[in-house]
Structure 1
Amino acid sequence: MKYRNIYMIGIGGIGMSAIARYFHAKGHEVSGYDRTPSEITASLEAEGIAVHFDERPELIPGAPSDTLVIYTPAIPAENRELVFVREKGYRLLKRSKVLGEIAEGKKTIAVAGTHGKTTTSTMTGHIFQASGTGCDAFLGGISKNYGTNLLLGDSGIVVAEADEFDRSFLQLFPDTAIITSIDADHLDIYHDYAHVQEAFGEFAAQTGRCLILKEGVDIGPAPVKATVYRYSYDNAKSDFYASRIRTEPGGYFVFDLNYPGGTVEDCKMGVPGRLNAENGIAAAAAALLNGISPEKVKEALGTFMGVKRRLDMHLNTAKTAYIDDYAHHPKEIEAAIRSIRDIFPGRKLTAVFQPHLYTRTRDFAEGFAEALSLADRIILLDIYPARELPIEGVTSKIIFDRIKTGEKKLITRTELMSCLENEDIDVLVTFGAGDIDRFTESITEMLEKRSGKC
């Protein structure tokens, strides 16, 4: 790329930070703006990338001919830095467009889906790295194996999480694609499920060689040119599926992985839960179809340590367990709770949920209530607005009133710690895509003291 400087508006986002790390590793001068400090911005600064938190156009480096500016759609149009670069004629690209340019001409494996894509893409990247083949991987979460959302290799293979938000994934033209799920989501953009399905169909049609679909996923009448494979947890009609499934203490799944070329016996997942086993089958399918040996796939599944904020275990003692998870859609919450039940059968589960976006709360209030009702006790927080302004009549109460679980509380974010201090906690999970993860350290410390671990 001809630009010496790469400037990023919204650099602290999970997708943006991976791009920042990529260009920094390639020798570019990388810097950027974000609204608030975070663990991600702190890690970028520690790696030598300058980050500031006030809108200061004067900090944008270089002339327009020497600086590429990358932004995320989450940045409001009136942002002073965004206005400045448009007025001064800088080349300005969305993150998704840049990822598409990076992947162009390379063998790309893209993982899409309204849920499951982050864990599945991180597993896929790990299989390629652990096998010795290597890859460049742009991930939507922090890999616990590598402590980053960017993996680098020299194989010419790119593994990318393909985000459906704002139709970003249509910038990718992968050799191999996985679609884990298609559910109604981002209805502020898509308006209805039919348009979500249509966008996934377009993505599928852009896939060149192998299209790996979860059993039951319907991409509609898309003109697919790739060979279609199906995967599932245990459906023997699928091309890739598990059989002879066993569960070991702690919810770790062991199974035989069946694929078109044979069977890989006794695969043990390195992370617990049925959901992780299913995602592992999808990742294994992509690896096997791209030349990774069955033995290497088995070994990598066993050494996978998970992704931060995806069934992320912070505490697990005989008295108390605490998991944090990014789930912010009813289907994700349902799947996560069922996996937690696999890990801790018969235990009392308390779920804390911070709804994300007013539009999503409005559109899926009934679904959220139904999914949360699978827990034994619910603590519901106020809505995290992110990029949205309030909508009249839309509060967390429209979920709360529909929850069937008898034990439920509706509180504000600031009341959370005092509320938890007075609760008898067996197994606790915090859900949400807002800022609920800011509490994980405090919650863990409190529960450790209570359980006598420290």
Structure 2
Amino acid sequence: MSAIAALLAARGLAVSGSDAADGPALPGLRAAGVTVHVGHDASLVTDVDTVVVSSAVRESNPELAAARAAGLRVLHRSEALAALMADRDAVAVAGAHGKTTTSAMVATALLHAGADPSFAIGGTVLTVDGPLGGGRSGSGPAFVAEADESDGSFLAYEPLVAVVTNVEPDHLDHYGSREAFEDAFVAFARRIRTGGVLVACADDEGAARLASAAAAELAAASVTVVTYGRSPGADVRVGDLRADGGRWAVELATGTAAVTVRLAVPGDHNALNAAAAWAAARALGADPLAVADGLGEFRGTGRRFEDRGTAGGVRVVDDYAHHPTEVAALLRAARSVAGGGRVLVLFQPHLFSRTRTFAREFGAALDLADVVVVTDVYAAREDPDPTVTGALLVDHVPTPGRASFVPDRLDAARAIASAARPGDLLLTVGAGDVTALAPVVLETLRALPSPGGGRP
């Protein structure tokens, strides 16, 4: 929402908005010329003609209720974003995981390759020159957008290039079944403009099925399908990831070009994200070598393996992972950078429905860490479900004693910090407000009687 507000203001519109509480996004919005209010009030929509809302805004919100009563135009955030992209060469990145990072990689690579793209991404884009924020208004034709499949709103877009990182079932509270979830991605592929490109991961079963099933129909619309991955037959072949002087090098190859990308972010999943970004930028005509160099300048996004500090010899990293596949990929990447230290995780489940549906998978993913503390569920848009707590995930961690349930957030932060010792890597993980606990963890680590304290 903040990125869209800033982009609308950059187009010359008078933009105002409200948030329930003050937060890190608001100073940047004020600097962009947006009138910002803290707290929701019906009077704030008195002098506006359009109200833009996200799926998290309920009908009971006083501003939305007042807008409905006054007959104002109400747009979902995806409709506002679609309007911003309408006259641009849009790249829309979708998938249950990886879309924020992949979108940010595309934007960073295009900037380095000499383009001047606009973008709207659900996280701060980090580069060697510093953070770029989640939104940017550029003069070039390219517009990179993270396309949210959680509520089906990605079907509002008509991209020139669509990237699908994976089609692994999620958001079943909205879709109801795996089949309905996959059908939504088929509909998304059909939204690609004539002469466009679908970039899909060959290593993901759902994305591979999408590419195969849609190939003939898309070809009839002059849409090219480009696959990437380590699977035999992928159009962009991804080599093995190897450590290279504090970076991670991977070779990307097609029948006509091969480049080596030296990434600053760890993990096999990020090698795949880079391949998707390379393919998407090439589809827009960017130089392959310049794109590869640009990917090397990418430093991550906010809340994706974001370094929050070190205390008592313990490095603290924050990450947005909130699906079992994301958590497993994160912990494998963490293991690759932890060296001889242990990997500790403070995990906050996100949504009661997701916690219940994927409890077994979450347990297996968390078992990849050495010590786990699970706190209670972050409800987000859902009503409380007293039958589902973080204890459900602890019960599904296979290794006895590895995980514990501490329902209170602050107690959980202090518990994981007290379990750490010098040389460990400690992660705060989840899509809710667990990110606010990193300072609590660091404060606890500093206050321990001996550096790192910890248990054996």
The TM-score normalised by the length of structure 1 is 0.90
- Kindly indicate whether the alpha-carbon contact (under 8 Å) linking 2:8 and 2:15 is maintained by their aligned counterparts in 1: yes
1:388 aligns with 2:388: no
* Deviation (angstroms), 1:281: 1.1
- Name 1:376's counterpart in structure 2: 370
Query: Equivalent residues in 2 for 1:50-89 (5 A)?
Result: 50-62=35-47, 67-89=49-71
Q: Which residue number corresponds to residue 341 of structure 1?
A: 335
* Aligned counterpart, 2:28: 43
- Which residue of structure 2 lines up, in the alignment, with residue 95 of structure 1? 77
The 8 Å contact of residues 274 and 342 in structure 1, kept in 2 or not, is answered as no
Structure 1 residue 74, shift from structure 2 partner: 0.8
Q: Secondary structure at the residue paired with 2:318?
A: strand
Aligned to 2:198: 211
Deviation at 1:221, TM superposition (A): 4.0
* In the alignment, structure 1 residue 409 sits paired with structure 2 residue 387: no
The Cα of 1:245 is off from its aligned counterpart by 4.3
Measured after TM superposition, the shift of residue 384 of structure 1 is: 0.7
The residue number in structure 2 matching 1:7 is none
1:243 aligns with 2:239: yes
Deviation at 1:246, TM superposition (A): 2.4
In 2, the alpha carbon distance for the partners of 1:392 and 1:422 equals 29
**In 1, are the aligned partners of 2:89 and 2:142 still within 8 Å (CA)?**
yes
Measure the CA separation in 1 of the matches of 2:426 and 2:5: 34
Contact 1:240 1:281 in 2 (8 A): yes
Distance 1:348 1:420, change over 3 A: same
Residue of structure 2 in register with 1:325 after alignment: 319
1:228 counterpart (225, 228, 233)? 225
- Pick aligned residue for 1:256 from 229, 246, 251: 251
Structure 1 pair 447–300 and aligned structure 2 pair: CA distance change class (3 A)? farther
Question: How far apart, CA to CA, are the structure 2 residues paired with 1:44 and 1:61?
Answer: 21
Whether the 8 Å contact between 2:373 and 2:416 is mirrored in structure 1 is no
Q: Is this contact kept in 1: 2:108–2:298, CA < 8 A? A: yes
CA contact (8 A) 2:228 2:238 kept: no
Residue 149 (str. 1) matches residue 134 (str. 2): yes
In structure 2, what is the equivalent of residue 173 of structure 1?
A: 158
Q: Distance in 2 between matches of 1:93 and 1:424?
A: 47
Alpha-carbon deviation of 1:198?
Answer: 0.4
* Percentage of pairs with the same residue: 34
The CA deviation at 1:452 is: 7.2
Structure 1 residue 395: Cα displacement: 1.4
The answer (yes or no) to whether the contact 1:352–1:429 under 8 Å persists in 2 is yes
2:426 aligns with: 428
Q: Is 1:185 matched up with 2:170?
A: yes
Within a 5 Å distance, the mapping from 1:11-26 to structure 2 comes to: 16-26=1-11
Match status 1:108 vs 2:103: no
Q: Deviations over 1:335-360 (max 9, x none)?
A: 11111122224431111110011111
Q: Per the alignment, in what secondary structure is the counterpart of residue 306 of structure 1?
A: strand
Confirm or deny: 8 A CA contact 1:273 1:343 kept in the other structure. no
The CA deviation at 1:447 is: 4.3
Q: Report the residue type matching 1:72 in the other structure.
A: S
Alpha-carbon distance change, 244 to 440 in structure 1, aligned in 2, over 3 angstroms: closer
Q: Distance in 1 between matches of 2:158 and 2:352?
A: 33
Q: Is the 8 A contact 2:346 2:416 kept in 1?
A: no
**2:185 & 2:240 partners in 1: Cα distance?**
33
For residues 317 and 267 of structure 1, do their structure 2 counterparts lie closer, same or farther at Cα, with a shift above 3 Å needed? Answer: farther
CA distance in 1, matches of 2:240, 2:394: 41
Q: Mean alpha-carbon deviation: is it higher for 341-350 or for 172-181?
A: 341-350
Structure 1: where are the runs of 5+ without partners? 1-15
Equivalent pair of 1:128/1:134 in contact (CA under 8 Å): yes
Q: How big is the shift at 1:414?
A: 2.6
Select 2:16's aligned residue among 3, 14, 31.
31
Q: Give CA deviations for 1:285-338 in whole Å, capped at 9, x if unaligned.
A: 111122111221121011111101011122369942222110111111011111
How far apart are residue 241 of structure 1 and its match? 2.2
User: How far apart are the structure 2 equivalents of 1:193 and 1:345?
Assistant: 38
Shift of 1:417: 3.4
Aligned to 2:441: 443
Cα separation, 1, equivalents of 2:310 and 2:245: 13
297, 301, 304: which one pairs with 1:310? 304
Q: Is the 8 A contact 1:315 1:448 kept in 2?
A: no
| Paired residue type of 1:384 | Y
Is the Cα contact below 8 Å between 2:312 and 2:445 reproduced in 1? Answer: no
The one-character-per-residue Cα deviations of 1:19-68 (angstroms, maximum 9, x if unpaired) are 101012222221112222221124323444222233311122525xxx22
Report the count of equivalent residues: 432
User: In the TM superposition, what is the alpha-carbon distance from 1:244 to its structure 2 partner?
Assistant: 6.2
Aligned pair in 2 of structure 1 residues 307, 418: CA closer, same or farther (>3 Å)?
Answer: same
Aligned-partner Cα distance in 1 for 2:55–2:290: 39
Q: Is the 8 A contact 1:259 1:285 kept in 2?
A: no
RMSD: 2.2
Counterpart contact for 2:410–2:440, Cα < 8 Å: no
Change (3 A) 1:245 1:84: closer
Name which of structure 1's ranges 223-232 and 415-424 shifts more when overlaid on structure 2.
415-424
Report if aligned partners of 1:184, 1:196 keep a CA contact under 8 Å in 2.
Answer: yes
Once the 2 structures are TM-superposed, how far is the Cα of residue 424 of structure 1 from its aligned partner?
Answer: 2.3
Aligned amino acid, residue 250 of structure 2: F
Distance 1:418 1:392 in 2: 24
